[in-house]
A and B are shown apart, each in its own frame.
Chain A
Amino acid sequence: MKRGLMFFALAVACVGCSDRGPGIEIKEEEAIDVAMYKSAELAQAVVEAENIEEFRAARAELEAYEAAMRKQIGGEEYELFMETANQVLANI
């Protein structure tokens, strides 16, 4: 019984952690700044990477923010985030 409960608690903890992702939390009041400025900054880091490691790290951060914006905020702010990032990425 005790073992079963422990296993259940572990499983719940695993599911909880896997759902959270890389841990970026965006508050609603920050969303517009993230969409307008942070997206440009992150995309710029992707464009300005000097080696593949830097590129991969910058890409991962940009994609983590994209996922956070999509899941936590959505709507017009998410669209703005994507459009801003795309604009910077296209300027390479």
Chain B
Amino acid sequence: MKRKILTVLAYTLLVVVVLLLSQCESRVTLTTPKKDAKHIIAMAEAIESEDELKNVEKLARKYEITYRQMMGGAAAREFKRLTEDALREASAVCDDIHAHEAHIAQIQGDFTGKLNELDEAWLRDTTNIEQDKEYISKNEQRIKKAQLKIAQLQKEIMAYTDKLIEAGYPADMLEKMSEMEADVKKYEDIIKHIEKDNYTIALAYKVRGQAIVEEKIPEVEPVAEEEPTEEPAEQTAE
């Protein structure tokens, strides 16, 4: 019985010690608001990552809370006033680091993406140029069809928007509207996919010093025809 009681007491003591230790770790030792703020400012100035910023912000909050508990609101406010500029600047530094990391990720993505595209182009079979030309031409027709569909859907959306406003945005009409917008997105994705397909085929020939998309040149002609009609119009206006 005595032994049991001693064991229970020992465990309880152990739990109390662990709890006390954890509390000691989370507390900060206060000196003066100015001195502690100086310490936080020095840490904030050395920040180079988001994790470091979070740690310093956490520590600053701990100081502020402890000041409030031990020395009252005035000391806590003084500490906050002294540190907030440095913490704000550290946060701006972190934003810059983020932007820079995003830029690095983008150029790395472009680099790998381009090399993979070229790899894919080299792996592609280019023994049947006529068949590929026909495939590209069919793809272009599919793109045109999808573009027409998008134009038609956009007209419908515009007309439907007026009805939607008149009806006061009821839920069923809003749902139909988002369905139509989703359809536009679907056709846009189809176009992107087909264009990528055509690009890969063209690239496969290009890396081998051949051109498969020469037929595209006549497509420019209608634009060239339109220009002279515009010029006389301008002249008459003058």
Contacts and interface: CB of A to CB of B under 8 A. Distances in A.
A83 B107 contact: yes
Contact of B108 (A46, A51, A82, A92): A82
A92 B104 CA distance: 22
Given A55-B207, A92-B207, A82 B119 contact: no
Contact of B107 (A50, A51, A82): A82
Interface of B: 103-104, 107-108, 110-111, 114-115, 118-119, 122-123, 203, 206-207, 209
Given A52-B122, A79-B104, A89 B114 contact: yes
Nearest to A86: B110
Q: Which of A50, A55, A79 has the most CB of B within 10 A?
A: A55
A76 to B, nearest CB: 10
Given A52-B122, A52-B123, A89 B108 contact: no
Nearest to B112: A63
A90 B92 CA distance: 34
25 contacts: A46-B115, A46-B118, A50-B209, A52-B122, A52-B123, A55-B119, A55-B122, A59-B115, A62-B115, A63-B115, A79-B103, A79-B104, A82-B104, A82-B107, A82-B108, A82-B111, A86-B107, A86-B110, A86-B111, A86-B114, A89-B115, A92-B118, A92-B203, A92-B206, A92-B207
A90 B118 CA distance: 11
A79 B107 contact: yes
Contacts of A83: 107
Top 9 nearest A-B pairs (CB, nearest first) are: A52-B122, A89-B114, A82-B107, A86-B110, A55-B122, A59-B115, A86-B111, A82-B111, A86-B107
A11 interface: no
